[in-house]
Structure formats: C-alpha cells, structure tokens
C-alpha cells in the first residue's frame, strides 16, 4: 500500500517497498525520508500529542499556550500553541539529525493524513 498526501505546506508519504527509507515528511521547501521505524514513531507520537492537546483544552484558560513533547529513541515530536490551534515540530534523534515543523494553519489537515496513514499501516494487509 503506497500512500501520498499533501497540502499547501505539507507532504506525507509511505512506500513499503522502499529498501531503507519508506516514509516521507515534508513542509514548505523541505522534505526528508524516514525509515519504517521512524515514520511509525512519528505517526504514533503525533496522534498521541493531538489527543493530549484535546484533553488539555478543558484545563487551560482562554488564550493560554502550552507545549507538549513526546519522544522515542528515534524521534522527538512536539506541539506548541493553543489547545485548539498549534504547530507541530519533530527532530530525528539518531543518524541524520534532521528536524522540521508545520504551522498551526497546516496541522489540522496534516493530522488527518497522519491518522489515515497510521490506520493504513496497521491494516492486516500492510503487516503481511
């Protein structure tokens, strides 16, 4: 199952037949290929942070900003902004040491694609 989605300032892709770098994340003027483990961690951590931001909405005062960070051995992912509109940042922890980010304007659409790809990667067809 090959997957590719893009918006005005974001790209997300996955090609399971690629030898090493089967994932792709990109923004306005940049892109980086990720290993299967890196893209899996990126998807998982991004979705966990999105859920955390929803949960935090009830705890924060109006116009109060928050930064939340999750990381694995391979990647750090961070949200920063208001509970209902925030940017997304990642940093690879090993090997290439790359980083990238998306603005609050782009994150809702990107998170939709992240959820779609995460679900597709979890399907029995992909695991076979």
- pTM for this prediction: 0.94
The CA-atom distances, in angstroms, between 26 and each of 6, 29, 83, 90 are: 9, 8, 23, 11
Predicted local confidence at residue 21, as pLDDT: 97
User: Exposed, middle or buried: residue 68 (CB in 10 Å: 0-12, 13-18, 19+)?
Assistant: middle
Phi, psi of 52 (to 5 degrees): -65, -40
Predicted local confidence at residue 60, as pLDDT: 87
Domain hosting residue 106, numbered range: 3-127
Predicted local confidence at residue 38, as pLDDT: 98
Domain of 43, CATH number, reads: 2.30.31.10
Phi, psi of 112 (to 5 degrees): -60, -45
Task: Please tell me the total count of domains within the chain.
Answer: 1
Take residue 94 and report the two structure tokens written for it.
């090993």
One pLDDT digit (tens) per residue for the chain, 128 residues? 899 999 999 999 999 999 999 999 999 999 999 999 999 999 999 999 999 999 998 888 888 999 999 999 999 999 999 999 999 999 999 988 999 999 999 999 999 999 999 999 988 665 54
């Amino acid at each position: 199952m090959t997957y590719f989605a893009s918006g005005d300032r974001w790209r997300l892709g996955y090609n399971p037949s690629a030898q090493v770098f089967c994932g792709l994340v990109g923004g306005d003027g940049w892109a980086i290929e990720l290993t299967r483990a890196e893209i899996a961690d990126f998807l998982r951590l991004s979705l966990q942070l999105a859920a955390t931001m929803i949960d935090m909405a009830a705890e924060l005062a109006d116009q109060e900003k928050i930064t939340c960070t999750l990381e694995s051995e391979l990647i750090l992912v961070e949200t920063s902004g208001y509970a209902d509109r925030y940017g997304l940042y990642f940093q690879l922890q090993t090997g290439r040491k790359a980083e990238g980010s998306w603005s609050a304007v782009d994150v809702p659409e990107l998170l939709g694609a992240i959820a779609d790809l995460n679900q597709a990667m979890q399907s029995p067809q992909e695991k076979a």
